[in-house]
Structure formats: C-alpha cells, structure tokens
Structure 1
Amino acid sequence: MKAFSLSVLASLVGLTVILCLLVLLGRRIIHFIFSFVFKRITTEPYWSNLFESYNLAKMIGLGRMIETELRSAHGKPPNRPFGRRQGVSPWQDLFFNPVYLYRLPLLDYTTVGTGVVIGPEARHPLKLKIPILIGGMAYGTALSARTKQGLALGATMAGTATNTGNGPFLPAERTAAEKLIIQYSRGSWAKDLEVLQEADAVEIQLGQGLWGPAPAEVPASRLARNPKLRHLLGARPGEKAEIPPRLLEAQTGQEIAGLIADLRAQTGGVPIGFKLGGTQWLERELEILVRANPDFIAIDGLEGGTHGGLGSTLDSLGTPTLFALVRARRFLDQKKLTGKISLLVGGGLYSSMDFLKALALGADAVFIGTVALLALVHTQAVKVLPWEPPTALIFESSGQKQKFQIDQGGQSLANFLKASVQEMQVAALCLGKDHLTAVDKRDLSSINQELASYLGLQWCGDPAQE
C-alpha cells in the first residue's frame, strides 16, 4: 500500500514538473514555431511556398480541393454526406409583413393553429399536429437502427410523421413512430403486403433532390459484414443490392396509375403519393403524375441532402427548392387540384422561418432531414468529437453508432420541432393570422425586385397594394 501511495505521489510530482516546464517554455516554443513558419511564408518563392496551398484552396475551393485528392486516392467518385455545400434558393430575400392597426395582431400565439392533413381525399388521411415532417432517410444503407428509432421517437413526441426512406423496413422504427410514411423504393425490398399494411401513408420514390434518379448500390462486401441488412434487402450471399435509376414495375402513365390503385387497395386507403427531385421538366412530370390521381406530391429541391451522393453531381443536378415549390403550386392551382392533392416540399430548409416561408409560398407541409439529424445528435456529439465527426454516431457503417442514446436524441429532436413551431406561431400572431395554413404570399415582401415580380409579391420599396 505504501509503495502504491509513493508511486501515485511520484506521478503527481512528475506531472506538476512537466506542466511547469510547459508554462515556462510554452511562449518560447510557440514563438519558435511561428517564426519558422512566418519566415518560410514571407521569404520563399511561390513554387515552394506553403502559402500557395491557400491560393489554390481559394481559387478552386477547399471542398473541391479535398474531393480532387479523394478521387486521386481511390479512383472513385467521392461520396459526400448531406449534399450540396451552399443553398441557392433566395429565402433570405423574403420578409414577413407584421401588422399593427391595419389588421390587429393576435393576443396569444398559442391560439394559432398548427395542424395539417396530408391527402385530404384519401379514405384515411394523414392527420398531423404540425406541418413539419421528417423526410426519408434510409436504415441500413445510410442510418443506423438506433438513429431511425430516435427520429421516429422525436417525431411522435412532436406530433408529426417520419419516413422510412429507401432502405429496408425496420420494425423498431414502426414501433417508435405513431405516424409512419413507408417509402416505396426503386429497389426491390419493402414492397410485400405485410410491410405496406404497416403504413400511415406510402411515398413512391422516383428520385430525390440533387441525387435525382441516379442509381445506387450496397456492395456485396458490405452486405457480407452485415447479414441482417443483406437479409432485409433480399440479396443473396455474394450479391450486391441495387437501386435502379427508375421504377422498373411502373414506367408509363398507365402503369403508374395502376400502381397507385394497387397500393390503395393493399393499404386500405391511406394516402399514396410520389417523391421526385426538382427539375426544369417539372410541369411535364407533374402532368403525368396527377393523371394517376395521387393524394400528395413531395418535391425535393436541389439543396436536399443525401447520404453518399457523388460530389460532382451534388452541385449541379436539379432545380432550387424555392422555384420548384412555386412552380408546383402554380401547376396545381391551374389544374384546380389545390385542396385535393397535398404538396410537400423539402431541401435546404433549416429554420422555422424557412418552413413558414415555404408554407406561405404554397407548400401544405415541409419535410426536413439534415437539420433533423443535427438536432437529434445535439450534445451527444461530444462522445466522438474531436477525433471523429458527429456523423459517426448516426451512420450504420460507423463503429461508434452504439454510443447514440435513442431517448436523449428523440427528446432533442422533439425540442427542436416544438421550438420551431412556436416561432412560426409567434410570426403568424404578428401577421394577424390564426393558423399557419392561413399565412400566404400576401404576408411576404422582398428586397429583390426581380424575385418579387416572379413570385407576385410586393417589393419592399413600394407601398402595399390590396
């Protein structure tokens, strides 16, 4: 015991001496390093100067520079989590118009209604307490089971729905989710009657955001390490699981309509809809889709996140969310389908005011992904930082996924959703509107004259017109 005490004391003394030396020598060490680097940068010619890396990063962009190195290292397109680096929809140029006496603001924000009905003409419409849904994010091919359970739990606590994404059906997600949208994937899995009958709505996935209809696959080597995932995806040993670029069982308008009818019959009448990415051909795509009589259409704009999308496509494929939303709403209005087919939109929506602006421009509800994951992880990120990114907690392929706490994550997500809705209610109060669905483009103005003209809004420099 005495020897142990002496060893502990010696260790403490040693640490104290080392700390003292660091304090005494710290300034000199830092000065030496700084002087060495500064002299190199300010005296060496550019061809051998470290500062040239800064010039390259500024010219090419740090992200493109890193992705160039990844391509060079692996000979494959780099898979970039979460999608595009920058948003392009000009949400920041839109502002809400508060009222004072012209129309009286409400007295209590808690009286502002928040509920929404998806697929109002379905036999069993999807009724939600808030107009913010959790978008499709796949189990197994992207997220871990614990992450999917956390998303489902948070959605349930906030009174909204979550979405299975294009991965296999996860019974634990169904258990945690009061309202679950099952995505009918372009892959071959999760399409049997037993799975479809678990749905509160079915979303036929034609494509998404900036990933578009691009194919995807889960390599056989990865499935060999995860027999459970291989079984759920229906792949044989040694085979890969594939998502083709189109829905093989329904490729014409007539076949699409037949698929809708079959899914309605199999599910007992829950809302059946489509998901597609924004595109310049949007109206032509919608023309085909509305003939099939869907209950909702979900549009994922250019800024939508995705797991492992090819870096080269993520900056250039699709149409920005704001413009896709406006065009889709105009199309449905012209076809007199407003109030019959619900319009959902997502992609690059991160804050409560983004959500409310999207509603004002015609969305019946919004769906979120990247920001939902950020809220879900919250302070649990410290379990892996600074040595690994927070995404190590949520992805199926990560060795750190078991550190994620489902209940804690669910509560964090629910807190984010509840706070966001409260902020939307306060904004509606200031506009004199008693329901979030009553907020429309007349409540918006823009500092951008061209954008105001396109959207049919007031420019901030002009007086309001009735």
Structure 2
Amino acid sequence: MINELMLRLMNPLTDGMLKNMLTESYPNNPMVMTTTFEKLTLRAVIEAGIRAETGKALTRPMGSPLRLSPWEQLLLNPRQLFELPTPDDTTIDTKVVIGPQAQKPLKLDTPILITGMSYGGSLNLPMKIALAKGASTAGTATNTGESAVSEEEREAADFLIGQYNRGGWLNSPEQLGLVDAIEVQLGQGAWGGAVSSSVKEEDMDEHLRVLWQIDEGGSTGKSSRLPEVNSPEDLVKLIKKLKKEYSVPVGIKIAATHFMERELEVIAKTEADFICIDGQEGGTAASSPTLEDDMGLPTLFGLGRTINWLKGQNLREQFTVIAAGGFRTPGEILKALALGADAVYIGSIAIIAALQNQITKALPQHPAHQLALYNGSLAEEFDIEEGSRCLANFLLSCQEELKMALQAMGKKAIQELGREDLVCLDPELARNLQIGYAGTPAANYWGSPLAAR
C-alpha cells in the first residue's frame, strides 16, 4: 500500500522531469550539468566547489587518482620447454636484504615493505600499530614515515625503518638508535617532491605532542629541505655522519623526477646503502591535487631510469633499490622487481587491506579513511587485531602469488628475476625500458647485456 502510494506521488514528478529533459532547449534543460560534468569531469567540478567555498589549497587523501605508469603494458615470461618450470619440491626464496654492506643489514622474508605513513601527520596510532603487527607476522618491515618512533609502534614492529625527516621529529640520537634502518626523507611522490607544511596545536593530542616534544600551546611543521642540507656536499656529510654513528642501513628517499639522473649523481657520491624512488602515483593523507596530479614522474619510468643509470655507471651493486608509488597487486610488484628493484613499498593498498571488512563501520555515512587518519572521526572504532590480521593475510597472499609466478618462470629465488623475464606490448616503451618487444622474437634481445638485471 505504502509503495503504491509513493509511486503515485512520484510519478508526476518523474514524468515532468523526463519531459523537460527531452523537450527543453539546453539553456533551460536541468540535465545540462551532464554535459558540464562530461567536459570538466565530476572530480574537477567537486574540487572547484571546495576551492570556491574555502579559498584555501585543497588537501586530498590517498594520493592521485591518475594511473600514469603503464604496468599493464608489461607481461612476465613463463618457461615450459626450452627451460622448464621450477620443480614442485623446490623451495622458492623470496627473502631480501636491505643494505647488505651495512654492519647490520635488514633481512626480510619478502620484498614487500610497508611504506612511510606517519603517525600524526597521516595515520592514527591504532592503524600504525596494526600495520606494524601485520608486517611483523609476514616477516617484513614497516616505516615510521615523517614522525617519531612511538613506544607502541616500536613494540609492535619486528623491523622498523625510521625516516630522518624534515620535521626533525626522529632526528635525535635517542630516536635514531631505536630503528633497524634509517631513511633520509628528501621528498615523496605524492607531495611533488618536498614542500613545507605546518601542524597546528589543535591538530595534536597530548600523546603526539609529547612524542614530538612540542611545548604546550606550540605548533610545528616540516620544511622543504632538511635544515642541515643546503648543498649536495651537505648531504654527503650527513650520510657519512649517520653511517659512522649507526650500524644499521642508511638510505635516501626522493620523489621521481625528470631530473632523475642528476639527482642520482648526487646520491652516488654518498655512502648510502639504499635508494628509495617514490613515483608520482604514491599515496598521502593530505596533499594538494596539483602536487599529486601534476608533478613528478610515474613510478615505472622513475624506476627504469634509476636502474639504467646505476648500471651505466657500474654502481648497481652499490645500492639496494626500493621502488614506491601506487603498487596494488603482486603482478605489478613482480614487474618492478624484474625491472631491477630489490624491494617495493606499498601504502594505500596496505591501508585498504587492513581496513577490509571494517569499512562497514564507516560506510555509507562516512568515508572509510576516517577509520585510519590521525584526525579521523572513527579512529576509536578501528580494531587493531583485526586490522593486523587482515594486513598479514594480504601480505602472505601476495607472497604466495609471487612464488607461483616465479615457479612458472623457472626461478628459485626472487633475485633471479631480470629484464629478460619481461616483455612489452608497446615498442617505444620497450626501447625506453630496455626490455623485449612482444612483436619481436626473444632471441633478438636476450643476448643483449641490456637484458641483464
């Protein structure tokens, strides 16, 4: 009865709307916004509205929606006859070592690491603990991001990479002595490199303020550069100092850029153990759409050019290379490893995995990321143990798929992957990445030294 009554009430309204849609000229047609959305895109219209309302730079979580790295143009090459798949009784090794030349190398069970997502600047403490616990279960490392080491995260993480950051929150000897590797953060993909930002007093709770050592009533922030690094020579001195004072691996993280080779020339002068290349598709809790969408270099190209340059300078064995920025699947990770990366950071997809069925606590009333963000309105609703379990399962699932693909390619260890294991559907991209083109017989490029990892 109620349904029938509602239909009778709505029928005249819908009839009138449809009539206007199909008969009115465009200036008076209520559906003219359809063509506006098609021209401008719904996202641009929404962001224009927010800018018009606030008059401030936007801060968009999760990073750019653009997918500029054409991973789908690359395929992996299985073996069946001329070389055989790996025998069933062979244990396939996915272990990786970060900074093998350091006094205390970081040894992990998988090449998939959790990237830097800071407590306070990005995520809430429950999510950071869940990421640390999940990573530990899977035998891998998590990263502090641009924050300090909290007692809770350190206790939950078997392996913790700490970012020596532009806010200075982890740069003291007391903090640096707590981590298993030091990553000097000079920029990140989702921030278009490095820009300054501030954190107001009202955006910090007591726990974070004490951890960051901020006086009551004070504010803090990060600069566009490390205070002690104002020249390439300063970076060389900083890395040398850290290497002298700490036995753990010391690395450098930069955003991928078209000036990749010039940046690498500077890094090559340092004693760094590893390099992290963060592509444009990387995630973040809050960066402007301009920095996310319109700056930097896609991960695929940043990684490819990094490996090419290091090999060309006979420096490939000097550095562990970690690729970061938008990785979503085991297949994309395998392609990055075959292209030359030693390990891969994941971030946004790790958050999604940790949230898993807990998103029902937010949707449809609230965005799911309110469960994960530092100032998220639903932070207290997030279940740490469930989140860590789901993340660990995700990582272990990815590791099993890595092993399956390695078996099909006749490999016994992740380190055996090389560019001969890739084929590209686009000839120009194949030339740029120095891998085989799908339209050319494999024999034409397998003998080339460029095919070697």
- The amino acid that maps onto 2:390 is S
1:219 paired with 2:212, answer no
Query: How much does 1:168 deviate?
Result: 2.7
Give the 3-state SS of the residue equivalent to 1:345 in structure 2: strand
Give the whole-Å Cα distance in 1 for the aligned partners of 2:65 and 2:416: 33
Aligned to 2:449: none
**Residue 114 of structure 1: aligned partner:** 94
Could you tell me which residue of structure 1 aligns to residue 451 of structure 2?
none
Please state whether the residue corresponding to 1:111 is helix, strand or coil. Answer: coil
Deviation at 1:304, TM superposition (A): 0.7
Letter in 2 for 1:398: G
Within-5 A mapping of 1:171-186: 171-186=151-166
**2:148–2:175 Cα contact (<8 Å) kept:** no
Given that 2:337 and 2:343 are in contact with CA atoms closer than 8 Å, whether structure 1 keeps it comes out as yes
Q: CA deviation at 1:220?
A: 3.1
Task: Provide the aligned length of Structure 1 versus Structure 2.
Answer: 443
**Any conservation in 2 of the 1:253–1:292 contact (CA below 8 Å)?**
no
Structure 1 window deviating more from structure 2 (298-307 vs 253-262): it is 253-262
Which amino acid in 2 is paired with 1:358? A
Residue 245 (structure 2) pairs with residue 266 (structure 1): yes
1:103 corresponds, among 69, 83, 92, to: 83
Partner of 2:182, secondary structure, is: strand
- Aligned residue in 2 for 1:449: 427
Amino acid in structure 2 at the alignment position of 1:227: E
Query: How many Å separate the matches in 2 of 1:24 and 1:109?
Result: 66
Secondary structure of the corresponding residue to residue 316 of structure 2: coil
Partner of 1:245: 224
- Structure 1: runs of 5+ lacking an equivalent: 1-20
State the alpha-carbon separation in 2 of the partners of residues 264 and 282 from structure 1: 24
CA distance in 2, matches of 1:117, 1:221: 41
Q: Which residue of 2 aligns with 1:70?
A: 50
1:28 and 2:8 correspond: yes
SS of match in other structure, 2:360: helix
Alignment partners' CA distance in 2, 1:32 and 1:156: 61
For residue 316 of structure 1, what is the aligned residue in structure 2? 294
Contact 1:80 1:310 in 2 (8 A): yes
Relative to structure 1, is the Cα distance of residues 463 and 24 closer, same or farther in structure 2, using a 3 angstrom cutoff?
same
- Which residue among 292, 300, 304 is the counterpart of 2:278? 300
**Paired residues for 1:368-379 under 5 Å:** 368-379=346-357
Q: Is the 8 A contact 1:137 1:164 kept in 2?
A: yes
Amino acid at match of 1:189: W
Match of 1:16 in 2: none
Return closer, same or farther for 1:443/1:333 CA change in 2, 3 Å cut-off. Answer: same
Structure 1 counterpart of 2:450: none
Q: Tell me the residue number matched to 1:360.
A: 338
Change (3 A) 1:109 1:275: farther
Q: 2:28 aligns with which of 44, 48, 51?
A: 48
- 1:1-56 deviations in whole A, cap 9, x for unaligned? xxxxxxxxxxxxxxxxxxxx333335435544432332232233322333122211
Q: Does the Cα contact within 8 Å between 2:119 and 2:128 map onto a contact in 1?
A: yes
Aligned-partner residue type, residue 170 of structure 1: S
Of the three residues 71, 79, 89, the one matched with 2:69 is 89
Q: CA deviation at 1:109?
A: 8.2
Q: 8 Å contact 1:181–1:203 — kept in the other structure?
A: yes
Alignment of 1:406-425 (within 5 A): 406-425=384-403
Q: TM-score, normalized by length of structure 1?
A: 0.92
Match of 1:346 among 302, 324, 334: 324
Mapped contact 1:115–1:130 kept (Cα < 8 A): yes
Q: Please state if 1:290 is matched with 2:271.
A: no
> Which piece of structure 1 moves more, 135-144 or 104-113?
104-113
Aligned AA (1:407): E
Change over 3 Å in CA distance of 1:29–1:460 after alignment to 2:
farther
Amino acid at match of 1:347: G
1:276 Cα offset (Å): 0.6
Would you say 1:143 and 2:143 are equivalent positions?
no
What CA RMSD, in Å, does the superposition of the two structures yield over aligned residues?
A: 1.6
Q: Is the 8 A contact 1:109 1:425 kept in 2?
A: no
1:69-95 residue CA offsets vs partner (Å, 9 max, x unmatched):
000001101101011111101100011
Give the Cα–Cα distance (whole angstroms) in 2 for the partners of residues 433 and 34 of structure 1: 62
> Using the alignment, how far apart are the partners of 2:90 and 2:25 within structure 1?
65
1:313 and 1:141 map into 2 onto residues whose CA distance is 17
Moved more, 252-261 or 317-326: 252-261
Kept in 2: contact 1:250–1:256 (CA 8 A): yes
Change (3 A) 1:46 1:332: same
| TM value normalised by structure 2 | 0.94
- Say which SS state the counterpart of residue 343 (structure 1) adopts: strand
CA distance in 1: counterparts of 2:374 and 2:432, whole angstroms: 43
1:430 corresponds to which of 393, 408, 415: 408
- The higher radius of gyration belongs to 1
Percent identity of the aligned residues? 38
Residue 37 (structure 2) aligned to one of 48, 52, 57: 57
SS in 1 for 2:3: helix
* Residues 165-217 of structure 1: per-residue CA shift (max 9 Å, x gap): 00232110110000000011111212221211111000000000031111111
Task: Tell me the distance in 1 between the aligned counterparts of 2:155 and 2:412.
Answer: 34
Letter in 2 for 1:343: V
Mapped contact 2:300–2:336 kept (Cα < 8 A): yes
TM-superposed CA distance for 1:222, in Å, is 2.1
**Which whole-Å CA distance do the structure 2 matches of 1:222 and 1:130 have between them?**
36
Of stretches 192-201 and 449-458 in structure 1, the one that deviates more from structure 2 is 449-458
Asked if 1:256 is matched to 2:238, the reply is: no
**d(CA) in 2 for partners of 1:142, 1:156:** 21
SS of corresponding position for 2:377? coil
Question: What SS is found at the alignment partner of 1:204?
Answer: strand
Q: Which amino acid aligns with 2:323?
A: V
Give 1:286 deviation, angstroms.
1.2
* Consecutive unaligned residues in structure 2, runs of 5 or more: 447-453
CA contact (8 A) 1:359 1:439 kept: yes
Deviates more, 1:101-110 or 1:51-60: 101-110
